[in-house]
Chain A
Amino acid sequence: MIEIKNLHAAVDGMPILKGLDLTIASGEVHAIMGPNGAGKSTLSYVLSGREGYQVTDGTVAFKGQNLLELEPEQRAAAGLFLAFQYPVEIPGVTNMTFLKHALNSVRIQRGAAELDAMEFLKLVRAKTKELGMSDDMLKRAVNIGFSGGEKKRNEILQMAVLEPTFAVLDETDSGLDIDALKIVAEGVNALRCRERSMLVITHYQRLLDYIVPDHVHVLAAGRIVTSGDKELALHLEEEGYAAFAERAAA
């Protein structure tokens, strides 16, 4: 699905990612854990093509395509989805309008026909039902006045509607209490399937109790220093990042 090789990236000339390698196969869920400042969010922005993140070396192949030469919206159309750590507010634009815009933009780029208002409504209603969400959220402006939990659920709803093949979840657990976390995780799990890969970025192990990954990687100082299965996350929790960082340095 996605193959990242020797990825180097800098922000304002300061190197953040320093030779990151990661390969994720179809249907796999990988988790990246790491201390603050390790480059976790940088990775998610580099993959999604945010301005200000300069790739200085390395390659990213996404379904055989060079991801790095695409505009952000083209990456979205290619099937990449980023669930934001801090979802953005857009006053006056309802969730419904936003979703319809996004879906139809993606469909046009993918060469599919646009959905008309009725078809779209049907689709969205089905998705909200699947995720156990209320239709009220659709009528409200994008993320305006949403609680932390609502914002994260909204991200999952967008993911469900856009049906990406590869989703990056950037600290989806941040700012959530345990109940909200469970709900969001259920939503994510409902979207797991053989055709869809995910990269779960998190600081804490607890999210991985609910979204169980196939592989866990530890990111420190811009590189992946250790990889393992879900047990690695538990060790990490016990041992702490400091010990890992030391080992990485050694």
Chain B
Amino acid sequence: MAATAESVAQVEEIRKYKHGWETDIEMETAPKGLSEDTIRFISAKKEEPDWMLGWRLKAYRHWLTMEEPTWAMVDYPTIDFQDIYYYAAPKTTEGPKSLDEVDPELLRTYEKLGIPLKEQEVLAGVQGAPKVAVDAVFDSVSVATTFKKELESHGVIFCPISEALKEHPELVRKYLGTVVPYTDNFYATLNSAVFSDGSFVYIPPGVRCPMELSTYFRMNAKESGQFERTLVIADEGSYVSYLEGCTAPMRDENQLHAAVVELITMDDAEIKYSTVQNWYPGDENGKGGIYNFVTKRGACRGDNSKIRWTQVETGSAITWKYPSCILQGDNSVGDFYSVAIANNAQQADTGTKMIHLGKGTRSRIISKGISAGKAQNTYRGLVRMGPKALNGRNFTQCDSLLIGDRCGAHTIPYIESKNRTAKVEHEATTSRISEDQMFYCRQRGIGEEDAVALIVNGFCKEVLQELPMEFAVEAQKLVGISLEGSVG
């Protein structure tokens, strides 16, 4: 846990939103607004097969019949879906073959970012540096995928989904939309119609992916929406750990992000999917910030397969996100570890669904919500034990921490059991940082903001320790940064 100490000590050095700059790169955009033409434009740009365009159009036509959901505890002005750019790409449309070909401005961008293209040496693959293969999605386009060759030697496919559509169309077609169908929900359907890029991962049977895979998402262009689509398939007996990082520049107006992530595990396979979400949260008064409406779902199709979602959600003006597991295979396991921090005027409505279908399926939910300022933070979750979930098990622990008396913390769990041999346990608590704790820390010489960061990191520890080490340090720092100004 030296990492905690180290990182929090650095809090001072890092300013409020360190990712709040804009990269000046020539962009190519589709005309503003959404229509069948926009979709045809995107599909043509990507040189997609006909079936893909057909699928997108089906989704679009279905979307036209849908209403924007209003059930979440989030409040925002109506989004004008015609006032958004659905496609924005750096003008060098030829996919870079190597890093040397990447726009140097973009590389400088990465330098500034710190995560997870942390050091140039990681990118360059310098000996001894931790190996993390990175697919960077810049606005709507995947711009750089590293370590591709080495991964290929293991049979691992890790590439932009647009490339996968060309190189491995049969794989994409077989799995795309099978976990999150194009009819699923308002935002997922919109994504199905207009998604422009994202990452595709396939781990062949028996392969343990030799390194962490990572996607780095960044929104840059003004008035653009980002709609990435990620598909990860772990075939029989394989394993992969996947990281996702997100940032966006500071802007006055809100930007829409509506991603879809689908995970599939076959027999004995395992996927660990970790997210550190630090989209621009807007200013203290709620001006600007990202609207983050994301659909993430994993299907444990195979017996003894396992999916673990770990998320640290500190950014976005609005977070609307429920990474879920459908536990189909017998003895499959779903985990959800979440830290959600909402400060100032942020609103977070997040949680998970654990759908137990197979025998002996197990799930665990650990959710830590922190509310500060005048933020609203909601945990919303569903645990369902189906009639065939013999000896199914769920344990849920859902804790809220309130900092200040103007914020809100809400817990809305749905627990449904249709199998008597299944056992479901749910616990939830609410607390605040006590005056005693603050004084104790300060008497030992620790300043107020540091003390808050320290105590909150302790509160979140069960979740943070699930993150891969490189991310854990970053996440601990973020906890401190995102709560700046919440006391005193």
Contact = CB atoms under 8 A, between A and B. Distances in A.
A162 B462 CA distance: 28
Nearest to A94: B1
Interface in B425-481: 434-437, 439-448, 450, 454-455, 457-462
Contact of A105 (B435, B450, B458, B461): B450
B6 interface: yes
Interface string A39-51: 0000000001111
A82 interface: yes
B64 interface: no
Contact of A72 (B6, B434, B437, B439): B439
B457 A71 contact: no
B443 A101 contact: no
A51 B435 contact: yes
Nearest to A86: B436
B457 A109 contact: no
Given A88-B436, A117-B6, A102 B457 contact: no
A186 interface: no
B2 A88 contact: no
Contact of B442 (A73, A117, A142): A73
A76 B5 contact: no
A48 B443 contact: yes
A73 B446 contact: yes
A114 interface: yes
B4 interface: yes
B458 A91 contact: yes
B450 A101 contact: yes
Contact of B446 (A50, A75, A105, A141): A105
A88 B437 contact: yes
A77 interface: yes
B458 A162 contact: no
Contacts of B450: 101, 105
B460 A162 contact: no
Contacts of A51: 435, 439
A76 B445 contact: yes
A114 B457 CA distance: 21
Contacts of B434: 88
B444 A77 contact: no
Contacts of B459: 91-92
Contact of B457 (A48, A76, A93, A158): A93
Nearest to A158: B444
A90 B1 contact: no
Interface in B380-407: none
A223 B5 CA distance: 42
Nearest to A72: B442
Contacts of B458: 90-93, 97, 141-142
A242 B443 CA distance: 34
B447 A73 contact: yes
Nearest to B4: A97
B133 interface: no
Interface string B362-386: 0000000000000000000000000
Interface in A51-87: 51, 71-73, 75-77, 81-82, 84, 87
Contacts of A94: 1
A76 B439 contact: no
A69 to B, nearest CB: 15
Given A92-B459, A101-B450, A82 B1 contact: no
B9 interface: yes
A50 B454 contact: no
Contacts of B442: 49, 71-73, 76
A248 interface: no
Interface string B1-26: 11011101100000000000000000
Interface string A118-140: 00100000000000000000000
Interface in A145-165: 158, 162
B454 A104 contact: no
Contacts of A91: 458-459
B437 A97 contact: no
A100 interface: yes
Contacts of B436: 88
Contacts of A219: none
A106 B445 contact: yes
B5 A101 contact: yes
B455 A90 contact: yes
Contacts of B457: 92-93
A49 B445 CA distance: 12
A96 interface: yes
B1 A102 contact: no
Contacts of B447: 73, 105
Contacts of A141: 458
A158 B443 CA distance: 11
Given A88-B437, A90-B455, A93-B454, A77 B1 contact: no
Contacts of B4: 93, 97
A162 B441 CA distance: 13
Contacts of A114: 9
Nearest to A80: B443
Contacts of B441: 90, 98, 101-102
Given A90-B458, A92-B459, A84 B2 contact: no
B337 to A, nearest CB: 14
A150 B271 CA distance: 42
Contact of B454 (A76, A96, A98, A117): A98
8 contacts: A76-B442, A84-B440, A87-B440, A92-B459, A98-B454, A101-B5, A141-B458, A158-B444
Interface of A: 48-51, 71-73, 75-77, 81-82, 84, 87-94, 96-98, 100-106, 109, 114, 117, 120, 141-142, 158, 162
List the 9 shortest-distance A-B pairs measured between CB atoms, nearest first: A92-B458, A93-B458, A76-B445, A106-B445, A102-B444, A92-B461, A72-B442, A88-B440, A117-B2
Interface of B: 1-2, 4-6, 8-9, 434-437, 439-448, 450, 454-455, 457-462
Given A87-B440, A93-B457, A101-B9, 15 more contacts: A48-B443, A51-B435, A71-B442, A72-B439, A73-B448, A76-B445, A84-B443, A92-B462, A93-B458, A98-B444, A101-B454, A105-B446, A105-B447, A106-B445, A109-B445
